Amino acid sequence: MAFYTDSDQLCTCMGMLFTHIGERDPGAADAILASHLVIRLRCTDPGAEITINGRQRPVQTTFGPSRLRPTLDIELAADTLHHILLGGLSLTKALADGRLKVNGPVWKTMALADLFHRGQVLYPQVLREHRLLLD
């Protein structure tokens, strides 16, 4: 069974996560800004699109279809994203075993590392706020 019940729940949690990251560690997105990346995360089960625009400060995040052409187009199951953010699965492992598929210059995925590391610290708090993770 999928962790997220629907795309609204997924997008709400991811929106809160990006808000917390921006408030608590604005420098987490510096590598994305320096690379001028536009990253589209296309999640499945449930389906959702999240676009991270690193071409302007502060980094803008869009939920749903975006007109921006992504530099990196990343496809993964929402459960894979969930496990990465909980720290149980590394980006490298997910890429190596095909759970994370990248269209674009794969080496630029390293720009996501700081953002994901900071996200891993804050993600459990977001889940607790939505009563999706109990202590």
Predicted confidence (pLDDT) per residue in 43-86, tens digit: 999 999 999 999 988 889 999 999 999 999 999 999 999 999 99
Q: Is residue 1's pLDDT more than 70?
A: yes
Kindly tell me if the per-residue pLDDT of 133 is higher than 90: no
Q: What's the one-letter identity of residue 131?
A: R
Neighbours of 96 (CB within 10 A): 10
pLDDT attached to residue 104: 92
Domain range enclosing 117? 7-129
Taking every pair of Cα atoms in the chain, the longest distance, rounded to a whole number of angstroms, is 40
Residue 134 has pLDDT above 90, yes or no: no
The number of distinct structural domains making up the chain is 1
**Residue 69, in any domain of the structure:** yes
- Assess if residue 135 is contained within a domain: no
Which residue in 103, 108, 42 sits closest to 75, CA to CA?
Answer: 42
Per-residue pLDDT band for 135 (boundaries 50, 70, 90) equals low
Instruction: Note the pTM of the prediction, 2 decimals.
Output: 0.92
Q: Examine residue 134 and state whether it is found in any structural domain, yes or no.
A: no
Q: Indicate which CATH number applies to the domain containing 40.
A: 3.30.1050.10
